[in-house]
Amino acid sequence: MIRVDNLTMRFGGIRAIDDCSLNFAAGRITGLIGPNGAGKSTLFDVVAGGLVPTAGTVRLEGEDVTRLPAFARYRRGLHRTFQIAREFARLTVRENLMVAARGQSGEALAAALFKPGHVREEERAHRERACEVMDFLALTPLADAPAGTLSGGQKKLLELGRALMSPARIILLDEIGAGVNPTLLAQIAGHIRMLNEEGMTFAVIEHDMDFIAGLCDPVIVMAEGRVLVQGPMAEVRADRAVVEAYFGSAA
Ligand code: ADP
Ligand code: MG
């Protein structure tokens, strides 16, 4: 579904991504792990269109999208979440979901003000979809709560919900589990698995190895902007280079 070839992303003297090639296969939940600074979030930025790489190509279902803006990739079904959730604190959970859906329709001001039929129709569709998404994520009791009052874990759920409001067929999740309690994390894993069974493709950056082990196949280990190893979690865990990347050569 996503394929990057010989990707390099330089920031001044730093090579955040260094001649990296990998792919996220359709129908899979691919795990992306590696020490801090390995280039994982930067890779997501380049794949989603937030950054234009110094060199290399990004393909989405075979199409070269390296120079396509983020919104064009979004319309083609690619959605990413951010390590720091970007919800609107004063809007309610329901409003946050509806805004996420609206982001894509390129709504003109005049249309928003005068609400011709098709705009009203679209708004009703978004409202219905928001209800379904809240049901699915068990967020319905929080529908009218301002997003700023949610717990860290609930914000992550909302972040996933915003992805589900988009026309996504592949979702890139950047540390959706960070700061989330184990119960909620298990719930999030369940949601991801269920969505995957319905055909959604995922790429997941996460530090929690049990979360990755229970969810992802294959797992790609990045270090210093490159792919160190990839394969099923059991193989990756046993790999000497991986152990060294995480714990230093003393291990
Ligand atoms: P990870 O997500 O694996 O922890 P990042 O992709 O965030 O790693 O960072 C990879 C490297 O690129 C780090 O050395 C980081 O400091 C650097 N980096 C990331 N974004 C920028 C930026 N916008 N400007 C300069 N350096 C950056
Ligand atoms: Mg990161």
Mean pLDDT of the chain: 90
Which atom of ligand 1 lies at the shortest distance from residue 222's CA? 3
Distance 88 CA to ligand 2 centre (A): 21
Torsion angle of the four alpha carbons 94, 96, 100, 103, in this order, in degrees rounded to the nearest 10: 120
Note the pLDDT tens digit of each residue in 12-35. Answer: 999 999 999 999 999 999 999 999
State the architecture of 2-87+152-247 in CATH terms: 3-Layer(aba) Sandwich (3.40)
DSSP 3-state assignment of 10?
Answer: strand
pLDDT, residue 107, reads 53
Question: Which ligand is nearest to the Cα of residue 42, counting in written order?
Answer: 1
pLDDT, residue 216, reads 97
Note the pLDDT tens digit of each residue in 217-248. Answer: 999 999 999 999 999 998 998 888 887 877 66
CB of 34 closer than 6 A to ligand 1? yes
High-pLDDT (> 70) share of the chain, %: 91
Distance 74 CA to ligand 2 centre (A): 21
Domain parsing of the chain, residue ranges:
2-87+152-247, 89-149
DSSP 3-state assignment of 66?
Answer: coil
CA distances from 85 to 7, 103, 162 (A): 26, 16, 11
